[in-house]
Structure 1
Amino acid sequence: MLVDVMVPAYGDGAHLRETVASVLAQGDPSWRLTVVDDGVAVGRDPGLGPWLAGLGDERVRYLANPVRLGINRNFQRCAELSSAELVVILGADDRLLPDFVARVRRLAEQYPAAAFLHTGARIVDEAGHPTTPLVDRVKARTSIRVRDSAEVGGERLAASLLRGNWMYFPSVVFRRAALVEHGFRPGFDIVLDLDLYLRILRGGGTAVLCERPGIEYRRHSASLSSARADDGSRFIEERAFFTEAAAELTAHGWPRAARAARWHLTSRLHVLCKLPGLLVAGNLGGARTMLRGALSTVPAGLPDGAGPGEGVHTR
């Protein structure tokens, strides 16, 4: 069983080369690496292709987009270019642990009906050193806990992810059939992962949750989510998504999950955490955008007595 490791990239860089090295270092050779570069068309360093070709490994493929696609469409292109039964879309600054491929292949055989697997992650900083930011400490305490591994799905998993998306997307391995069937919906950059999980779950798919981490996930200030948080656009996208998700989940007959979407407490709390820094920096426009989102009225339709008592996750 082959694993397609798809890396949506934006030009060359030291972190990306670490990502590639982590794939080459896999103990199980049953992988294929494809780097889809979305930066060449806008003048980013073209040296990545020659460097990858120079590795001399026929399992490594490089593709440069002729025009800039952006985050969402490049992820979708990665999904469409894959062909193996198992597919992981790995961040261009994250690293696989050496037994990642071997483990996910075993788990896929052990749970043949699961649509995707989540191995979890070790968190590292910009320099690659272990770190424990508040967001990840909360995730560790509030995610669905399993012993070794377990298959989970339905409203239980949907509601938990909507309270706080604790899945690290680069450590999620999809069955290609499920990934291609549902794909990435245009218009979402920040919540494209959560949107995909929910559509798979509503379609009857399940996930395997694993206790032991499979990747190293890099936290740094240059990430898209950090930049979008500073200007407030992240929270505009999230609110639109949660409003839509609440309606769809209500119609689907999952009231607990719909309630979690209506409250979207993770997004609101993230706003409140970011506000002091924005005010100190004088970014009043971003602060106003965030505050409107955090204090806006909860959409109508909450059951009597419903509220934020089901648990709080921080992304």
Structure 2
Amino acid sequence: MTSMPKFPSVAVCIPTYNQAQYLIQSVSSACCQTYPNVEVWVSDDGSTDETPQVMEQLCQQFPQVRYYRQPKNLGIAGNNTWLMSQPKTDFIVRLDSDDALMPNYVEKLVSLLQKYPEAGYAHTAIQEIDEHGKNHAIARVVRKKEFQNSDEALMAAVSGYRVAANIIMFRTKALQELRYYENRPEYVEDYDLSVRIADAGYGNVYADEVLAKYRVWTDVKKTRSKRKHLQLRGYIRIFEESFLPAFQRRGWDVKVLDKQRRKMAIINSAYCFLPIFNQEERAELVALLKQLGDSPLLRLRIVALSLGFAPFFEWQLHTEIKLKGFVKDWLSKLKSMSLVKAVG
């Protein structure tokens, strides 16, 4: 068995679609890493803005950049599958074109993946920024161990995608085994991949250090909310095609999956009653909610939402999310203080 070289090769893969205004920061952050062996790939999924002109300038500025413009729009999963299957490197970073890496991101995560050869991917704490680049909250994953084995990761994933943000360094071998996002759900393809990686026997490693910037932008046109049907269909596929077979292979009780499906249906119900949806769209979303996790409580919630209680349930959900973020940050700071005292 040959040992990995001192500086394994890394490709930063940046899928993009109509985000020309953020590309300079994103691509530059990938090109200006402290790590010496990085190539940068950008796949433009048929953008209609100034992306080609911006990329022409960036290719002249940074010789390690490889830019490809798709002749037709492939969608999120299709574009990512094409892009991430191109490099022949040891590791692959997925970086969305409105996000950015800290200069030592690659160096730190290559070191962690070398330390834990059983890990299929590595992830970190992140700095949230808005559409103007202004810093907001720091997002972290609260867990006790740096490395999480495959069974632990699989069970943890039942409650959701267990990363601070979808800025990930993958072991290329793991991606190749699973054929990337090929024929997988659109819009929640990242969550689905994490489940399949755990099912394949790979753990993951987490650095509780802010090593990337994740853009949380105001969706004025409600574009993301309009994709709710894709999200719900994706969740259904993840539980039926990824989680269920994985649990059955291990002889695990699948009741926990049914319980989580019902919980997710209730959590997502308020979004389906936003005024941006017409009557036909709402009927489709309600049917998908019931397919995801039907229950008497969901049906009661749907009645309440149809009577105009959506703003209250949305406020309740946002409050819970903010409270969880506060607790995570507080626990992480407490952990850091304990480590400092231990070293002292």
Scaled to the shorter chain, the TM-score interval is 0.7 to 0.9
1:180 is matched with which residue: 172, 176, 191? 176
In structure 1, distance between residues paired with 2:114 and 2:14: 24
Q: TM-score, normalised by structure 1?
A: 0.79
Q: What residue is the counterpart of 1:51 in the other structure?
A: 57
Sequence identity percentage: 21
Aligned partner letter, 1:157: A
| Structure 1 position 267, deviation (Å) | 3.5
In structure 2, distance between residues paired with 1:66 and 1:258: 45
In structure 1, distance between residues paired with 2:282 and 2:251: 34
SS of corresponding position for 1:216? strand
In structure 2, distance between residues paired with 1:224 and 1:108: 40
2:195, 2:243 within 8 Å by CA — same for their partners in 1? no
1:11, 1:48 within 8 Å by CA — same for their partners in 2? no
1:27-68 superposed Cα distances (whole Å, 9 cap, x missing partner): 33331111111115x78753134222221x221111122332
Aligned partner letter, 2:57: W
In structure 2, the gaps of 5 or more residues are 1-7, 296-319, 326-344
**Higher helix proportion:** 2
Aligned partner letter, 2:53: G
In structure 1, distance between residues paired with 2:109 and 2:268: 35
1:126 is matched with which residue: 110, 120, 131? 131
Pairing of 1:186-205 with structure 2 (within 5 A): 186-205=183-202
1:123-182 superposed Cα distances (whole Å, 9 cap, x missing partner): 1221122234xxx97xx5xx45136xx211233211212212132564211111111111
Q: Which has the larger radius of gyration?
A: 2
1:171, 1:214 within 8 Å by CA — same for their partners in 2? no
Q: Do the aligned partners of residues 17 and 225 (structure 1) sit closer, same or farther apart at CA in structure 2, a change above 3 Å counting?
A: farther
Q: What residue is the counterpart of 1:77 in the other structure?
A: 82
| Structure 1 position 286, deviation (Å) | 3.9
SS of corresponding position for 1:211? strand
Q: What residue is the counterpart of 2:33 in the other structure?
A: 26
2:291 counterpart of 1:291 = no
In structure 1, distance between residues paired with 2:88 and 2:142: 31
| Structure 1 position 287, deviation (Å) | 3.6
2:228, 2:272 within 8 Å by CA — same for their partners in 1? no
2:256 counterpart of 1:249 = no
In structure 2, distance between residues paired with 1:224 and 1:255: 43
Q: Which has the higher contact order (CA 8 A, sep 6+)?
A: 1
Q: Do the aligned partners of residues 225 and 153 (structure 1) sit closer, same or farther apart at CA in structure 2, a change above 3 Å counting?
A: farther
Moved more, 99-108 or 218-227: 218-227
SS of corresponding position for 1:207? strand
SS of corresponding position for 1:120? strand
1:157 is matched with which residue: 120, 138, 153? 153
| Structure 1 position 96, deviation (Å) | 0.5
In structure 2, distance between residues paired with 1:286 and 1:242: 23
Aligned partner letter, 1:263: Q
Aligned partner letter, 2:144: V
Aligned partner letter, 2:45: D
| Structure 1 position 247, deviation (Å) | 2.7
